Amino acid sequence: MAEAHKQENTVSNKDVESSDNSSGELAYESIFGSDAPPRVLSVLDIISAGFNICNSWCGLAATLFLGFLAGGPVTIIYGLVVATFVIGCCCLSMAELSAKYPTAGGQYHWTYIVAPKSVNRGASYAAGLINIFAWQAIAASICVIIPQLVLGMAVYWNPTFTPQNYQSFLIYQATNLLVLGYNIGVLRWAPWTHTVGLVYSLLLGFSIFVACLAKASPKAPNDTVWTLFVNEGTGWPSGVVFLTGMVNPNFAYVGIDGAVHLAEDALNAATAVPWALIAAVTIGFVTCFPFVVAMFYCISDPSAILSSPVPIFGIFEQALRSGSGATALTTLLIMTGIFALNATQQTSSRLSWSFARDGGLIFSKQIGHVHPKLGVPVWALLFNAVVVFIMGCIYLGSQVAFNAIVGTCLILMHMSIAIPILFLMLSGRAERFLPRKGHWNMGALGWLPNLFTVAWSLITLIFYCFPTTNPTTSGMMNYASAVLGVFFLCGLANWLVYARTRYHGPKIDMAKLELLTARS
């Protein structure tokens, strides 16, 4: 650990206890510094926020067209099982490290800790910037889903209406700014918003499940639901189509590391964050799998779903045999997107704030500051909102380019998780990083989830960049690899201009942190 960022002298329990109070807030301030958000999130709040970001059944429903075009029901249903397994491995891997090192920086802090000293500064910087780009792309992807649903309903009720890019742009930006205002001025005093979002999502998912199954007639045959694999005109082998179609079920868990970046808002982070990670993937699968199976049984005309501007609206309409009913359910579905964006903006701002606090971003002095009265990192929220705004401008000019930006969020998310896990494996899962006596330590069994976490990041990096068809055209091309290249150039420019001389790793008193988490 670098001298400037870890006290090498012995730190006793008294050093931590002397600054501790009943909530543990002062003890954490002595480790992270006093310029930090107040710790107001309970275990339930952080679990709710973690789930709201993913909102698994909603995320899968809103992007259902991706799976329909690449594999059909087989890819979506069985792909969800595969995605749950690999995301579960990611969560177990992160739970081990977050129980020991509960910080808002998450992956880039862990990378700095477990990587060899010769490369830990550069590797930590890369992990941090990759994670920030991932969260900004996640926020943009949620923003764009809302106008797609709204304008899709408009097309249904007025078939002569042709949606324009500027209309999507205005709805996109209005959503971004509305939720930004709530994050700055309200959320600090209303953390229960996340719990409301969790309850709302669960009740809505259950209501849609019951209503659609009860009204749908006739229902799709079992063979169509469980064995139909669609691979028409792609030019790719079925195995490749399955992996490229995994974008849809994998999106059900986008932002799964959200709870990690809320660690410095949590009352008992070392305990709350690991449980929130496991809860997010567990609740996600329990709600998502029955929902998607039910939706496939409700499809009576698959071709109509493919031609629908919003496939999930088409499924609701076929199940309920009512355009009004489908409109009502889709409108309620949009509200889950608002809750998801609210949690996403809060989480991504804490990551950007933490990285700026450590000198990793240009304008770090402003972005790494917490407003003394509002109790939130206002400049970090504004910084992320501006980047999401710019992505919306790209959407106004080129929908293909924007879709590529959104498509990279899964690639970047898995890369950011895999980097510290890879270095942990290269260290042999050394006991100095994961003491055997610590809670959430998986011991030798930890090699399995660690291995799948790293392997899956490589799979996403390769196959999520594949074009839809082979041979491809400019209109069907996947520009995710080009967007990754642009992100790389932006990160390199930030390093050369600013971070190279100012970023030295996380500014955290690791000795005190280890003592405090050991007492959790």
Q: What is the CATH number of the domain that holds 167?
A: 1.20.1740.10
Query: Phi/psi at 376 (nearest 5 deg)?
Result: -135, 155
- The confidence score (pLDDT) of residue 34 equals 47
Strand partners, 71: 230
Distance CA 252, CA 80 (A): 8
User: Is residue 298 within 8 Å of 318, Cβ to Cβ?
Assistant: yes
Q: Could you say which DSSP state residue 232 is in?
A: S
- The confidence score (pLDDT) of residue 3 equals 40
Residue type, 247: V
Residue 419 falls within a domain, yes or no?
Answer: yes
Instruction: Domain count for the chain, please give it.
Output: 1
Question: Per the structure block, which two tokens stand in for 203?
Answer: 């009740």
- The confidence score (pLDDT) of residue 13 equals 39
CA distances from 164 to 150, 176, 305 (A): 12, 19, 22
- The confidence score (pLDDT) of residue 303 equals 80
Give the CA dihedral 308, 314, 317, 318, nearest 10 degrees: 100
Distance CA 376, CA 368 (A): 10
CA distances from 36 to 17, 266, 294, 443, 470 (A): 20, 12, 45, 33, 50
Residue 5: burial class (beta carbons within 10 Å; 0-12, 13-18, 19+):
middle
> For residue range 187-233, what is the model confidence (pLDDT) as tens digits?
888 888 989 999 999 999 999 999 999 999 889 999 889 998 888 77
Distance CA 154, CA 379 (A): 36
Residue 124 falls within a domain, yes or no?
Answer: yes
Residue 11 falls within a domain, yes or no?
Answer: no
Residue type, 495: W
Query: Phi/psi at 440 (nearest 5 deg)?
Result: 65, 20
Does residue 147 have a cis bond before it (omega within 30 degrees)? no
- The confidence score (pLDDT) of residue 472 equals 76
Residue 12 falls within a domain, yes or no?
Answer: no
Q: Closest Cα to residue 53, out of 198, 264, 247, 205?
A: 198
Q: Helix 269-297 to helix 192-215 angle, to the nearest 10 degrees?
A: 20
What are the helix (H) ranges across 162-237? 165-185, 192-215, 222-227
- The confidence score (pLDDT) of residue 8 equals 36
Residue 291 falls within a domain, yes or no?
Answer: yes
Distance CA 324, CA 330 (A): 10
In 3-state terms, what secondary structure has residue 74? helix
Which range of residues forms the domain containing residue 243? 40-519
Residue 275 falls within a domain, yes or no?
Answer: yes
Residue 362 falls within a domain, yes or no?
Answer: yes
In 3-state terms, what secondary structure has residue 255? coil
In 3-state terms, what secondary structure has residue 36? coil
- The confidence score (pLDDT) of residue 35 equals 59
- The confidence score (pLDDT) of residue 265 equals 79
Residue 356 falls within a domain, yes or no?
Answer: yes
Largest pairwise CA distance in the chain: 74
- Can you say whether residue 242 is alpha, beta or left, with left for phi > 0 and alpha for psi between -120 and 50 degrees? alpha
Q: Closest Cα to residue 275, out of 498, 94, 143?
A: 94
pLDDT in tens, the chain (520 residues): 444 444 333 333 344 344 444 444 444 444 455 455 666 678 888 888 888 888 899 988 888 777 777 788 899 999 999 999 999 999 999 999 999 888 889 999 999 999 999 999 999 999 999 999 999 999 998 998 899 899 999 999 998 998 888 999 999 999 999 999 999 999 888 888 989 999 999 999 999 999 999 999 889 999 889 998 888 777 889 899 999 889 889 999 999 998 898 888 777 888 889 999 999 999 999 999 999 999 999 998 888 887 777 889 999 999 999 999 999 999 999 999 999 999 999 999 989 998 998 999 988 989 988 888 888 999 999 999 999 999 888 877 776 777 777 778 999 999 999 999 999 999 999 988 888 776 788 989 999 999 999 999 999 999 998 887 788 777 677 888 888 998 899 999 999 999 999 998 887 665 555 555 555 5
Q: Helix 120-157 to helix 378-397 angle, to the nearest 10 degrees?
A: 50
Look up the pTM and report it.
0.88
Residue 319: burial class (beta carbons within 10 Å; 0-12, 13-18, 19+):
buried
- The confidence score (pLDDT) of residue 424 equals 96
Geometric angle at alpha carbon 17, from 11 and 21, rounded to 5°: 145
Q: Closest Cα to residue 195, out of 42, 375, 331?
A: 42
Residue type, 91: C
Distance CA 50, CA 53 (A): 6
